[in-house]
Chains A and B, each alone.
Chain A
Amino acid sequence: MALAAQKSDALEARIARLDRPTAGWTAKARADALARLSSMGLPGKRDEYWRYTDPAGLNLAEAAAAALFDAQGEAPPFDGIDRLKLVFVDGVFDPAASDDPALAGVEISLLSKTGGADLHWAQGLYGTLEAAGQSPVARPFAAMNTAFATEGVMIRATGRAAKPVSLIYLHKSETSDAILHHCIKVESGAELTLLENGPAAARFSKVMEVDVADGGRFHHVRTQGRDHERRAITHIFARLGRESLFKSFTLTANGRLTRNECVIDLTGADAVAHVAGAAVGDGDFHHDDTVFVTHGAERCESRQVFKKVLKNGATGVFQGKILVRPGAQKTDGYQISQSLLLDEDSQFLAKPELEIYADDVKCSHGSTSGAIDETALFYLRSRGVPESTAKSLLVLAFLAEALAEIEDEALAEDIRSRLEGWLSRHER
């Protein structure tokens, strides 16, 4: 009883200064989310799902300050890519810095500005996939996000989007605490590429609900920003229809705390979902990928590919699950999580899980943790390649399988060059 009271006090304190609209089209979803949150409470270190990642920094009533990062003239991600830009500064939409949200094949509106009959689709989505994703594992921060999100984009792709939609999250205030909630609907046969980059805030909570209808295709590439002191808790909830495609890749370079949860529900036959991540951390860096893929239909394919490069005491976490429901025959599930530890101070904690209730499936998973291959390093150096370059080559080689999940060549090249930059800045 004492504990429960303590927990609810902590939750009260956490949400005391957050604002929840009680009117408008999201009001009901928000009220329901608050009810879910209240029954779950905030997570604690004793929760199984938070064993490897301490949620304390996310539970604090106020976000800890995070110094602003100086990119020192380095071009921002996706700089050379033709895209429609939507800019958020500390979680607040900045119309002056954004492009006109008009794009052939796509309807775009803001959560704060949305209303009216044209948004039936969003009303059906907001909080819906998040609520479904609360079982079998509780995700209180996602419910909190649904209840209290201040902004977000509602994107509906009705055809082939003429260019990627790019969400840019700038961090300009040292104590900002941002909550964004996006809903994305890719209609039958439509295709959309979504890009995200930037730290967003000192503390950032983001939920993205993605509903891909039959034959729809959704591509997602994000970088999470180099601010060393930021904290982020993000969720992707995706529901995939028949023969649809979902591909998500995330590059994380630094950040004191990052927890990226990805919950994918393969509901239509022959759907394909790939989720991948490359994380590079130096020093006070804690990066957690928590993934839950449910195969609920026949002949679906899922891949989870997560690679982490850790040094100077950085910590990497992977919790990944493939659940194959009864009847989901011919499932093809693959999961790999690997870390390259560049010194003995760094650590990688992994919990790969398979739970299978169908007999005709192909599922494999693997998790490894290791140091750089000294023999390969010597071989490269013996050919005249300087040690630092040789190490970079080997690190990039290690990350290659994750990067290969980015379909678009130009985007892949952009990510690769960012990694090269990071590696050259973090040689020691």
Chain B
Amino acid sequence: MLEINNLHVKLEEDDKVILKGVNLTVEAGKVHAIMGPNGSGKSTLSYVLAGRDGYSVTDGSATLDGAELLEMEPEERAAAGLFLAFQYPVEIPGVGNMTFLRTAVNAQRKARGEDELSAGEFLKIVREKAKALKIDAEMMKRPVNVGFSGGEKKRNEILQMAMLEPKMCILDETDSGLDVDAMKLVADGVNALRDAGRAFLVITHYQRLLDHIRPDVVHIMADGRIVKTGGPELALEVENNGYADILAEVM
């Protein structure tokens, strides 16, 4: 589903190189995890895939079901089925959460040539999904992420994902800052979406989340590259011994 080949990325502003040849293939129906020390380029990878400004791709490619992602506008990538749950969800004063969600859902439907949802249909679906994530109606009325706690912001990301039903979901440290109960809610939300046609790329520091969302493949990222790939046991190894051993072994 997602294929990243030899991806090299530097900052547009200065010449700092962040990604130094990332290779990664995520198949439909699978959950891949990326772990790695702070500053290794995990968020940069997710931003570049989602189309954020400020980076320049100097080499390599990334495709989603064969379509060249890096040529598309961010909204086109979203309509093509890519979703990024942000490490730091953005606050947007003045834009209601509900308005935002409905605009997003209908824009994607329109881009795909589907009918827009009526206000009634939309409300019904959003209520049900919000309830599962314990997001109350009052939170939906507030401006996007404004005044939300860290955990509420992360749950709101998962709600957006559930509403948009993307096929390639990237979660950037969605577990950070969550207590055990909130993490369980988030994991349940993700697991509810798992199916044969959908894939996940879960960026995390902790085994904790991976206890709830069982990955098929675990990658270790360091200094802008995937340096090791293995099964779920690799995450346990990181949990027990940190990155030092793995990094020493591959460097």
Query: Within the assembled complex, what's the spacing in Å between the Cα atoms of A89 and B75?
Result: 47
Q: How big is chain A's contact interface, by range?
A: 20 to 34
> A residues 384-398 with Cβ under 8 Å of B?
384-387, 389-390, 393-394, 396-398
What total of A-B pairs shows CB separation below 8 Å?
A: 82
Q: Is A378 an interface residue (CB 8 A)?
A: yes
B75 touches A385 (CB 8 A): yes
Knowing A374-B53, A378-B52, A378-B53, say if A384 contacts B93 (CB, 8 Å): no
B73 touches A380 (CB 8 A): no
Complex contacts, B84 vs chain A, CB 8 Å: 382
Query: Within the assembled complex, what's the spacing in Å between the Cα atoms of A97 and B108?
Result: 46
Q: Is B100 an interface residue (CB 8 A)?
A: yes
Q: Interface of chain A, helix or strand or loop or mixed?
A: helix
Q: Is A379 an interface residue (CB 8 A)?
A: yes
**Shortest CB–CB separation between residue B81 and chain A, in angstroms?**
10
A383 touches B164 (CB 8 A): yes
Q: Is A135 an interface residue (CB 8 A)?
A: no
Query: Within the assembled complex, what's the spacing in Å between the Cα atoms of A385 and B144?
Result: 14
Pick the contact of A382: B78, B92, B94 (CB < 8 A).
Answer: B78
Complex contacts, B105 vs chain A, CB 8 Å: 384
B52 touches A384 (CB 8 A): no
Query: Within the assembled complex, what's the spacing in Å between the Cα atoms of A386 and B164?
Result: 15
B94 touches A386 (CB 8 A): no
A381 nearest CB neighbor, chain B only: B74
Q: Is B95 an interface residue (CB 8 A)?
A: yes
Q: Is B79 an interface residue (CB 8 A)?
A: yes
Encode contact with B along A360-386: 1 for CB under 8 Å, 0 otherwise.
000000000000011110111111111
Encode contact with A along B82-108: 1 for CB under 8 Å, 0 otherwise.
011010011111110001100111011
Query: Within the assembled complex, what's the spacing in Å between the Cα atoms of A280 and B164?
Result: 33
Knowing A375-B90, A379-B92, A383-B164, say if A393 contacts B75 (CB, 8 Å): no
A384 touches B94 (CB 8 A): no
Q: Is B189 an interface residue (CB 8 A)?
A: no
Complex contacts, A374 vs chain B, CB 8 Å: 53
Q: Is B61 an interface residue (CB 8 A)?
A: no
Knowing A376-B92, A394-B95, say if A384 contacts B75 (CB, 8 Å): yes
Q: Is A18 an interface residue (CB 8 A)?
A: no
> A residues 265-316 with Cβ under 8 Å of B?
none
Query: Within the assembled complex, what's the spacing in Å between the Cα atoms of A394 and B90?
Result: 13
A388 nearest CB neighbor, chain B only: B75
Pick the contact of B51: A376, A380, A381 (CB < 8 A).
Answer: A381
Q: Is B137 an interface residue (CB 8 A)?
A: no
Q: Is A400 an interface residue (CB 8 A)?
A: yes
Pick the contact of B107: A389, A394, A396 (CB < 8 A).
Answer: A389
B51 touches A384 (CB 8 A): no
B78 touches A397 (CB 8 A): no
B103 touches A396 (CB 8 A): no
Complex contacts, B143 vs chain A, CB 8 Å: 397
Complex contacts, A376 vs chain B, CB 8 Å: 90-92
Q: Is B247 an interface residue (CB 8 A)?
A: no
B164 touches A384 (CB 8 A): yes
A383 touches B90 (CB 8 A): no
Pick the contact of A383: B52, B73, B78, B93 (CB < 8 A).
Answer: B78
Q: Is B50 an interface residue (CB 8 A)?
A: yes
A378 touches B94 (CB 8 A): no
B50 touches A382 (CB 8 A): yes
Complex contacts, B77 vs chain A, CB 8 Å: 382
> B residues 35-93 with Cβ under 8 Å of A?
50-53, 73-75, 77-79, 83-84, 86, 89-93
A379 touches B79 (CB 8 A): no
B94 touches A396 (CB 8 A): yes
B73 touches A381 (CB 8 A): yes
A378 nearest CB neighbor, chain B only: B52
A384 touches B78 (CB 8 A): yes
B104 touches A397 (CB 8 A): no
Q: Is B174 an interface residue (CB 8 A)?
A: no
A384 touches B79 (CB 8 A): yes
A403 nearest CB neighbor, chain B only: B94
Query: Within the assembled complex, what's the spacing in Å between the Cα atoms of A386 and B107?
Result: 7
B166 nearest CB neighbor, chain A only: A384
A398 touches B51 (CB 8 A): no
B160 touches A383 (CB 8 A): yes
Complex contacts, B99 vs chain A, CB 8 Å: 393
B103 touches A378 (CB 8 A): no
Q: Is B180 an interface residue (CB 8 A)?
A: no
Complex contacts, A382 vs chain B, CB 8 Å: 50-52, 74-75, 77-78, 83-84, 86
Q: Is B125 an interface residue (CB 8 A)?
A: no
Q: Is B111 an interface residue (CB 8 A)?
A: yes
A383 touches B104 (CB 8 A): yes
Knowing A385-B75, A387-B75, A396-B94, say if A380 contacts B100 (CB, 8 Å): yes
B51 touches A394 (CB 8 A): no
**Shortest CB–CB separation between residue B115 and chain A, in angstroms?**
16
A383 touches B94 (CB 8 A): no
B90 touches A385 (CB 8 A): no
Complex contacts, A379 vs chain B, CB 8 Å: 86, 89-90, 92, 144
**Shortest CB–CB separation between residue A119 and chain B, in angstroms?**
46
Complex contacts, B53 vs chain A, CB 8 Å: 374, 378
A393 touches B100 (CB 8 A): yes
Pick the contact of A378: B74, B100, B160 (CB < 8 A).
Answer: B74
Knowing A378-B53, A379-B86, say if A384 contacts B104 (CB, 8 Å): yes
**Shortest CB–CB separation between residue A428 and chain B, in angstroms?**
16
Give 5 A-B pairs besides A382-B52, A383-B108, A400-B94 with Cβ atoms closer than 8 angstroms. Answer: A376-B90, A379-B86, A381-B75, A382-B84, A383-B164
4 tightest Cβ-Cβ pairs between the two chains A and B: A397-B94, A384-B78, A384-B108, A383-B104
Give 21 CB contacts A-B under 8 Å. A376-B90, A378-B51, A378-B74, A379-B92, A380-B95, A381-B75, A382-B50, A382-B74, A382-B83, A383-B78, A383-B104, A384-B75, A384-B111, A385-B103, A387-B73, A389-B103, A393-B100, A397-B92, A397-B95, A398-B94, A401-B94
